[in-house]
Every structure is written in structure tokens, then in C-alpha cells.
Amino acid sequence: MVSGGSAELCARSGTYWADQYDWRSREAALNRLTQWRGEAEGYGLHFVHMRSPHENALPLLLSQRWPGSIVEFSKAIPRRLDPVAYGGSAEDALHVVAPSLPGFGFSDKPERTGMGVQRIATLFDCLMRGIGYDRYVAVLFAMMGHPHAKSFE
């Protein structure tokens, strides 16, 4: 016997995505984020890089979980950039860098095996250094940051 979702659930899901999901609203939210494409060790990465207006903001590397996307951060990023605008303190401000994982967004698709968490951590560390952040904090999926822990201090 084969198991899976019911025909009704599949039909409801199809209806939602075809007729109810507001892509234009999501598109507008994504377009409010400053997005870039750059290279880290020859590998093309798509990323959001937005600087806080607050002088002493701390750089933050924000990585999605797999299989997610930077869409998950579209509401949170403005609050990290300018916490004062949301009732917070300037001391909590962050410059935000949120790269798309390899194969996601506009990041290059891996062409060979070996693109695991260690390799991704190295690419993201290279990206952060390439845009001028030698020291930063990170919110990463799994234990990806371990080989670069000194950079995260």
C-alpha cells in the first residue's frame, strides 16, 4: 500500500498556491532588502547586506536553515537594523548579512559533492571578510560555524 497526502489536501494546497498566495506582496517585501551577488573562493553567493544607520552596530551573519530561504528573515531584518524605530535601543543595532545557501536564491548550484556545512561555513566566513567584517556574530543552522568560531566573537 502506498501512503501519502489525501487528494483533498493536495487539491486545497494547489488552490492556495494558484489562487490565494500573494506573490506580489512577498516580492515587494524581498525587494525592500538590499541584495547582492558576490564571490567567495570563486563560488557565487547571493546575499542580503544591509547596514544599520547606527554607528556602533555589530555585524551579524544570519543563515537560513535548510531547506529555507532569506524570505524567513524579511520581517526581522529591519528590526535588527534600526531597533530604535521599533522601541528598542541603538546599542542593539546590527549590520545584517544573510546569504542564500548554495543552490538557493541566486547562489550558485554546487557542481560536485562536498558542499556540506563545513564548506558553507568557510564560504560564508570568506564572504564576511570580503565585505569588510573581520569580526562578527552569527546565527547559523546546525554547527556550521564551528571551524570559524574565533571570527564570531
pLDDT over 70 at 1, yes or no:
no
Segment 77-131, tens digit of pLDDT: 999 999 999 999 999 999 999 999 998 889 999 988 988 888 999 999 999 999 9
Give me the pLDDT at residue 152, please: 47
CATH of domain 33-152: 3.40.50.1820
Segment 12-67, tens digit of pLDDT: 999 999 999 999 998 998 899 999 999 999 999 999 999 999 999 999 999 987 77
For every residue of 6-47, DSSP letters joined together read -HHHHHHHHHIIIII--HHHHHHHHHTS-EEEEEETTEEEEE
State phi, psi for 138 to the nearest 5 degrees: -140, 145
Please compute the mean of the pLDDT values over residues 119-144 and round it to a whole number: 87
The CA distance from 11 to 2, in Å, is 18
Give me the pLDDT at residue 24, please: 93
The CA distance from 114 to 19, in Å, is 39
Sign of CA dihedral 2, 8, 13, 19: positive
Give me the pLDDT at residue 26, please: 87
Q: Model pTM?
A: 0.81
